[in-house]
């Protein structure tokens, strides 16, 4: 089986089994954490390296007023008012 070499923080070497690209062009590596950002470098057609980079700042959570303004400013026809949508998405 072909394997990729991954060097750990303290210099120890761990093996990662070869991975297959899915239909949407994604790969899954268990040593990577969800939400982390990596920049690919295409060294050759057979070699791609990943470098960790800082991701965008997280957005603050939306409150009712920002959601209401987004709905009112939208060009989409939502078929209901903000209050009607709110009632549909909340438990009585």
Is pLDDT at 8 greater than 50 in this prediction? no
pLDDT tens, 28-61?
A: 888 888 888 888 899 988 888 889 888 888 788 8
User: Taking the domains of the chain in order of start, what are their residue ranges?
Assistant: 3-53, 59-92
Give the per-residue pLDDT at 46: 86
Q: What b/e sequence results for 45-78 when a residue is b if at least 16 CB atoms lie within 10 Å of its CB, and e otherwise? A: eeeeeeeeeeeeeeeeeeeeeeebeeeeeeeeee
Higher per-residue confidence, 92 vs 77 = 77
Is pLDDT at 5 greater than 70 in this prediction? no
Is pLDDT at 1 greater than 50 in this prediction? no
Question: How many C-beta atoms lie closer than 10 Å to residue 32's C-beta?
Answer: 13
């Amino acid at each position: 089986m072909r394997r990729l070499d991954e060097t750990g923080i303290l210099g120890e070497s761990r093996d990662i089994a070869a991975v297959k690209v899915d239909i949407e062009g994604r790969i899954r590596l268990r040593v990577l954490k969800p939400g982390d950002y990596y920049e690919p470098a295409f060294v050759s057609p057979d070699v791609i390296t990943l470098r960790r980079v800082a991701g965008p700042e997280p957005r603050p959570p939306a409150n009712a007023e920002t959601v209401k303004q987004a709905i009112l400013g939208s060009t989409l026809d939502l078929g209901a008012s903000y209050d009607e949508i709110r009632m549909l998405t909340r438990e009585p």
